[in-house]
Structure 1
């Protein structure tokens, strides 16, 4: 089974009206990204995945032009409706801001509704990932058995603090919450080596490869580091829709060695790439029954 662990909830249930259509230049270097999309657009993008994990980032100060355009209530309601429409193929994660006074109440509410994990972007949501409110949410998630997928690494958004997404911050989180299942998005690009040494030491910390294939050297360096440090089995497939789609993600990591033609540099083993594509992501995150379970 192919599981795409990193996709964003569509902005529109039906076709996107021309007046609503938005693109953003900053997410890719080769072309602009259309940040408004329909349920059908999502299904087309996920055609090569059997199951996808879907979410958005709840921000209190929306940045519509970049695609960060959902307030907490909107993003979770949209994700829930979308996953309920195809529960055997879509697994929904909530997003909450730990600094909101009702954060834990909201987390419990959306858990009860059927969202089975949490997506956090401390840089976009403007909270300290090692601050007391965030630690309280991690503790709740650990007790409740909900995995957390963190945005890690670079962002083109100027106001988003890079220090909040540096991979070694996740090491601190995992030290305090050893049973919390964590996914480090984008292999922390460009800090792939820091991500690798973090997932290597923590049994329940993983990384997804979303978007790294858009930058060939980052992709090669990051995957080779996982090979050399013996933790390539901790890598999960992700596309980062709408920035890319599952097929593009698969093709991109399969091309990881293309830049090495004519060199003696070490290759990333082909079997490793196939293991990422077919990784048991739901099992790793404690979500084996996520596509069949009833709401709590």
Structure 2
């Protein structure tokens, strides 16, 4: 089974009005990324996946110009609506800011909507990831069995603090909450070494490979670190739609050795790559397979 664990909720149900069109030049080096999209665009992008985990980032405005963040009530409502219409393929994660006064009301509402995990980006949401409100929220997620997917690593957004996304911050979270299931997005690029040694030591901490296949050396180096440290089995497939599609992610992974062709550099074993593509992400995160569900 192919599970794409990293997809941003489509911004529009049907046609995108001209005034809502957004594109952003800093996510990829080869082309601009159109971040306004429809349910049909999303369906086409994730077609190779059997299951997709869907979310956006709840933030006041940090990503508003890119179309990748919204107020919590908007992003969670939109995510739940898409999942309700696509119950056998989509799993929805909520996004909240643990420091907001109404966070627990929104968490309760999101859970009633059927969202079963959390997406956090402390750098975009501008909260201290080891602060008291965040730690209280992680404790709740551990207790309630809600996996958290953290944005990890670089960002082109100027005011988003990089130190909030450094992988060793997640190491401290995992030490404090050993039963909390965590996904470190993007293998923490460019800090893949720190990500690998973190996922290696914590049984319930994983990393997704979303977006790293857009940079050939980052991809090769990241997978090599994971292979040499015996942590390749902790890697999960992710596309980072709309930045890329599931098919792009799979094809990119399978090109990992192209950059070292004809050299004496070690190759990434084919089975490592195929195991990422077919990883048991749902089992790892304690999530039910949605393919037995029907529309409510």
1:279 is paired with a residue whose SS is: coil
Aligned to 1:276: 276
Aligned to 2:237: 237
1:213 matched residue in structure 2: 213
Between the two proteins, the alignment pairs up a number of residues equal to 295
Q: Give the corresponding residue for 1:74.
A: 74
Aligned to 1:222: 222
Partner residue, 1:29: 29
Structure 1 position 53, deviation (Å): 0.2
Task: Compute the RMSD of aligned alpha carbons.
Answer: 1.4
Structure 1 stretch displaced more, 118-127 or 65-74: 65-74
- Confirm whether residue 142 of structure 1 aligns to residue 148 of structure 2: no
* 1:6-155 to 2 correspondences below 5 Å: 6-61=6-61, 63-155=63-155
**1:286 and 2:286 aligned:** yes
Aligned to 2:255: 255
Aligned residue number for residue 264 of structure 1: 264
Shift in Å at residue 213 of structure 1? 0.2
Give the TM-score taking structure 1 as reference length.
Answer: 0.97
- Describe the shift of the 1:177–1:80 C-alpha distance in structure 2 as closer, same or farther (beyond 3 A): same
| Contact in 2 for aligned 1:98/1:134 (Cα 8 Å) | yes
SS at match of 1:206: strand
Cα offset for 1:105?
2.9
Q: Is the 8 A contact 1:62 1:68 kept in 2?
A: no
Deviations 1:34-93 (CA, angstroms, capped at 9, x unpaired)? 010000000000011111000000001253322234111000000000000011100000
Contiguous gaps of at least 5 residues in structure 1:
none
Deviation at 1:292, TM superposition (A): 4.4
CA contact (8 A) 1:99 1:127 kept: yes
SS in 2 for 1:91: strand
Tell me the secondary structure at the aligned position of residue 183 of structure 1. strand
